[in-house]
């Protein structure tokens, strides 16, 4: 059974240094998406260390069919709402589609998200991002680089498909990861890649990794809040588990998620992908 609320509540704000220390100590950490103050407060009470304001809000909040229509104004609005409800979690915010298509554009929009309350921005892409990441990092903006399945590239990828399958694709993902870390990326997030590749990449890079559909070996795990509460529309992704079961409250569902990630019960083999 997971611990009660008084044991789970974070005692102080989580920093990037804390997350790096957790990787060094081989201690798993948790991340959930949030888009408002109330759910953020409950996540803090449950001990969720990191909160992502995802451009997934396009689908779960706005009812869009992808993340592409989400604007930087949308992201700033929800980031500010999360900030107001937050006490101790480390806040990541997505840079929405086409808001970092040049270094100047990226600096302007990342600045807006940081001023709205983010502790770090997240951008999707591969090695081509390295100059943008360096420019952001040089100006004091921490960056999480999102690799593997990148939803903003869904039209280019031909759908939501597992990435990094086969040796050539795995090698390329490793090379991209190392290039982005060298450019200044502070965290790498991997989506929908084979579990064994998630292990290889986490061991190869010196920064914390977060996985969603990337197996149990990444340093942290993230899920879309609506998915892990069983409120997803349509087919449930393979990597999702409904934690709002057995009469749990929402806070208890968050606490169960924290407990299972930290004790390496989630994700289980059935939530991962093979090479």
Does residue 94 have a known ligand-binding role?
yes
Is residue 122 annotated as involved in ligand binding?
A: yes
239 within 8 A of 232, measured Cβ to Cβ = no
Q: Would you give the DSSP letter of residue 236?
A: P
Backbone conformation region of residue 233, classed left if phi is above 0, alpha if psi is from -120 to 50, else beta: beta
Classify domain 16-271 at the CATH class level. alpha beta
Beta bridge partner(s), residue 121: 93, 143
Q: Where are the beta strands (DSSP E) in the chain?
A: 29-33, 50-53, 90-94, 120-124, 143-148, 187-191, 209-212, 220-223
Contacts of 167 (CB under 8 A, 6+ apart): none
The catalytic residue positions are 191
- Residue 56 assigned as binding residue: yes
Residue whose token pair is 């450019």: 183
- Distance between CA 25 and CA 234 in Å, rounded? 38
- pTM of the predicted protein model: 0.95
* Number of neighbouring beta carbons within 10 Å of residue 103: 14
Full pLDDT tens readout for the chain, 275 residues: 444 443 467 778 999 999 999 999 999 999 999 999 999 999 999 999 999 999 999 999 999 999 999 999 999 999 999 999 999 999 999 999 999 999 999 999 999 999 999 999 999 999 999 999 999 999 999 999 999 999 999 888 777 889 999 999 999 999 999 999 999 999 999 999 999 999 999 999 999 999 999 999 999 999 999 999 999 877 889 999 999 999 999 999 999 999 999 999 999 999 999 98
CB 214 within 8 A of CB 190: yes
- In whole angstroms, give the CA distance from residue 8 to residue 1: 13
Q: What is the DSSP letter of 89?
A: P
Domain extent listing, the chain: 16-271
């Amino acid at each position: 059974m997971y611990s009660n609320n008084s044991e789970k509540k974070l005692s102080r704000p989580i920093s990037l240094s804390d997350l790096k220390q957790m990787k060094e100590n081989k201690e798993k950490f948790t991340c959930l998406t949030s888009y408002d103050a109330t759910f953020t407060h409950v996540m803090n009470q449950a001990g969720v260390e990191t909160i992502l304001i995802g451009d997934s809000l396009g689908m779960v909040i706005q009812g869009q069919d992808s993340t592409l229509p989400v604007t930087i104004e949308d992201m700033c609005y929800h980031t500010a709402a999360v900030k107001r409800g937050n006490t101790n979690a480390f806040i990541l915010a997505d840079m929405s589609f086409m808001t970092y298509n040049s270094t100047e554009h990226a600096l302007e929009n990342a600045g807006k998200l940081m001023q709205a309350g983010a502790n770090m921005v997240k951008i999707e892409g591969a090695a081509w991002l390295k100059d943008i990441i360096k420019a952001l990092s040089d100006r004091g903006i921490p960056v999480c680089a999102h690799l593997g399945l990148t939803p903003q590239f869904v039209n280019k990828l031909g759908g939501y498909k597992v990435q990094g399958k086969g040796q050539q694709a795995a090698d390329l993902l490793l090379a991209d990861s190392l290039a982005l870390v060298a450019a200044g990326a502070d965290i790498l997030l991997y989506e929908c890649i084979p579990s064994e590749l998630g292990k290889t990449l986490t061991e190869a890079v010196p920064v914390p990794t977060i996985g969603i559909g990337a197996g149990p070996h990444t340093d942290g795990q993230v899920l879309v809040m609506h998915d892990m509460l069983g409120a997803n529309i349509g087919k449930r992704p393979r990597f999702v588990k409904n934690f709002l079961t057995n009469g749990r409250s929402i806070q208890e569902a968050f606490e169960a998620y924290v407990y299972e990630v930290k004790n390496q019960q989630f994700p289980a083999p059935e939530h991962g992908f093979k090479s």
